[in-house]
Each structure stands twice: as structure tokens, then as C-alpha cells.
Structure 1
Amino acid sequence: MELDEAIMRRASVRYFLEEPVSDDEITALVEAAIRAPTASGLENWLFVVFKSAEARKKIYDLIGEGMVEYYRAVNLPEDKIKKLKRGIYEEGMYRAPVYIAVFIDRRVRFLKGKEFDEVEFIWSVESAAMAIQNLMLKAVELGLGTVYIGVTNFRGIEKKVRELAGLDENYYLVGVIPVGRPKEEVKPRKRRRSFKEVVVML
């Protein structure tokens, strides 16, 4: 598969078949992820793979908790939230055979001194985000679907994911990525803004 094809075919997949993702596939995903650029060459990312039924159930419940918090934050009416909760808890939205949580270790840095705390943190998050994109594109090549979950970063939920991964507060969760074989045909959506609307050439 050409890179251009993988880029154009990538889309957020929210419903997955109940088929396992092999260890070889997981290895291929993470190997692709760690080829991403990393600020100062630090490679201060950590990929925690949740495969067991028990761990997946806990992650899934935390995703559901985060989604409800998100729906309330955007002021959706409770009847709409109730319908969306059905999509999660009854229809299995985001239920996947594997979840990959991507963390950064905030202790690993290049520039010393508190004046660099913010920029070092931003660089680390950017490095992990590029790794996630590599992972997602590799998933397309392997016939797998992924979706980025950011709601696990809500206060309290992020702590629970971290503790589930056996990590302390030195680690920061960048995102959780459900991985599996798509349940339905993947249909990438068109972008709302055109090339001319998002590019400034000087």
C-alpha cells in the first residue's frame, strides 16, 4: 500500500468486530509508532497495551465515563446523552479487542530549569502525537481500524487510566487508541475546510 492511499483511507473507526489483534500486529503498530520524530531524540514515550478481558473492560468503562462527561461539557440535553450512552453501553461503541494507551515520561527531558517546563511538555506531547499518527497509518495498511480517544484525559479519569497501567504521576496520558477490525465499511469523510482555507504562503 502506498503512503498516500493509507493517508486517504484512514478514518476514525468506532465499532469493531470481536476478532483478536495478533501480537505480531501489535508489534508492527508500535514499531511504526516509534519511528516517528521525537523532540531532542528523547523517545520518552511509553505504549501500554491492554489486551486482557479484565483490563479492556476497565478501559472501556473509563472511555464511557469520559464520553458522558464530554457530552455534558458541551451542554447536550439529558435525553440526547441517554441515547448516546446506549450507543456506548448497548451497541458497543469503542469496544475493541485491544487498547493502546500512549504516555510520556515527564522526567525525561533535554532542557533543564523550570523556565523550560512548558516547552518540554509541549515537545513531548507533539512527539507522542506523531507516534500515534504513525500507528494509525500502519493500522490502515494492516486492515485494522483505530480512533483517537481524548476524553480519558479528563481530571480523575486520566489518573485511573494511569493507575490501571501501573504508572505514577510522572507519566502523562496523551491518548488511548482502540484497535481492531472495523465492523462496517470504513468511509473517510471529506474535510470541511479546503487547502486554500488552511494554507498561508508568504
Structure 2
Amino acid sequence: MALDEAIAKRTSVRYFSEESVSEEAIKELIEAAIRAPTASGLENWIFVVFKNKEAREKLYGLIAEGMEVYYRAVKLPEEKIAKLRKRIYEEGMFRAPVYIAVFIDKRVRFLPGKEFDDVEFIWSVESAAMAIQNLMLKAVELGLGTVYVGVTNFREIEERVRELAGLDENYYLVGVIPVGYPKNEPKPRKRKKGVEDVTKFI
């Protein structure tokens, strides 16, 4: 598959079939991820794969909780929150055979001194984000679907995801990626803005 095709086909998949994802495929995803640029060559990322059913169920519950926090934060009415619960608990939105949680190790850095704490953190998150994009594009090539889940970053939820991953407070969760074979044919959406709208030449 050409890169242009993978980019065009990548879309957020929220509903997955029950078909399992092989360990070999998961390793291919992570191999693609770690080819991403990494600030100062630190490679201070870690990919925690949730494949065990019990761990997946716990993580799924945290995603559901995070979605509800998100809906309430934007002050959506209760009927919309009830529909969200239906999509999650009855229709299985975000329920996947594999979840990959991407963390950074905040202790691994290049520049000494507290004055560089913020920029080091930003660089690490950017590196992990680029790794996630590589992973998602590789998933397209393998016929897999993915979606970026950011609602697990709410503080009280992020802490529980870390505990579930067996990591301490030195690690920061950049995102959780559900992975699986799409339940339905993925339909990439057109972007609202074109190249002309978002590009400035100087």
C-alpha cells in the first residue's frame, strides 16, 4: 500500500469486530511507531499492550468514564449523555480486542535544569504523538482500525490507567489507542478546511 493511500484511508474507527489481533501484527504496529522522530534521540516512550480480557474491561470502563466527564465538561444535556451510555454499554463503542496505551518516561531528558522542564515535556509528548501516527498508518496497511482516545488524560482517570499499566508517577499517558478489525467499512471524512485555508507562505 502506498503512503498516500494509507493517509487517505486512515480514519477514526470506534466499533470493532471480535476478531483477535495477532501478536505479530501488534509488534509490526509498534515497530512502525518507534521509527518516528524522537526529540534528542531519547526514545523515552513505552507502549503498554492490553490484551488480557480482565485488563481490557477495566480500561474500557475508564474510557467510558472519561467520555462521560468530557460530555459533562462541555455541558451536554442529560439525554445526550444517555445516548452516549447506550453507544458505549449497549453498542460497544470503543470496545476493542487490543488497546495500546502510549506513555512517556518524564525522567528521561536531554537538557538539565528546571527551566527546561516544560519544553522537555512538550518534546516528549510530540515524539509520542508522531509515534502514534506511524502506528495508525501501519494499522491501515494491515487492515486494522484505530482511534485516538484522549479522555483518559483527565487526571483522576490517567492515574488509574497508569496503575493498570503497572507504572508509577514518573510516566505520563499520551493516549490510548483501541486496535482491531473494523466492524463496518471505514469511511474517511472529508476535512472541513483545505490546504489553502490552513497554509501561509512567507
Q: With the length of structure 1 as denominator, give the TM-score of the two structures.
A: 1.00
Q: In structure 2, what is the Cα distance between the partners aligned to 1:71 and 1:90?
A: 18
Matched residue, 1:87: 87
Counterpart amino acid of 1:7?
A: I
Matched, 1:73 2:57: no
Matched residue, 2:137: 137
Q: In structure 2, what is the Cα distance between the partners aligned to 1:186 and 1:83?
A: 22
Structure 1 residue 138: Cα displacement: 0.2
Matched, 1:193 2:193: yes
Cα RMSD of the aligned pairs, angstroms, is: 0.3
Counterpart amino acid of 1:97?
A: P
Structure 1 residue 14: Cα displacement: 0.1
Structure 1 residue 84: Cα displacement: 1.1
Matched residue, 1:115: 115
Counterpart amino acid of 1:116?
A: F
Matched residue, 1:101: 101
Instruction: Identify unmatched segments of 5+ residues in structure 2.
Output: none
Counterpart amino acid of 2:98?
A: V
Q: Percent identity?
A: 76
SS in 2 for 1:200: coil
Structure 1 residue 79: Cα displacement: 1.1
- Residues 7-86 of structure 1 correspond to what in structure 2 (within 5 A)? 7-86=7-86
SS in 1 for 2:14: coil
Counterpart amino acid of 1:64?
A: A
Matched positions, count: 202
Q: With the length of structure 2 as denominator, give the TM-score of the two structures.
A: 1.00
* 1:61-97 alpha-carbon deviations (Å, 9 max, x no partner): 0000000000001110011101111000110000000
Instruction: Identify unmatched segments of 5+ residues in structure 1.
Output: none
Q: In structure 2, what is the Cα distance between the partners aligned to 1:123 and 1:83?
A: 38
SS in 2 for 1:156: helix
Counterpart amino acid of 1:9?
A: K
Q: In structure 2, what is the Cα distance between the partners aligned to 1:157 and 1:92?
A: 20
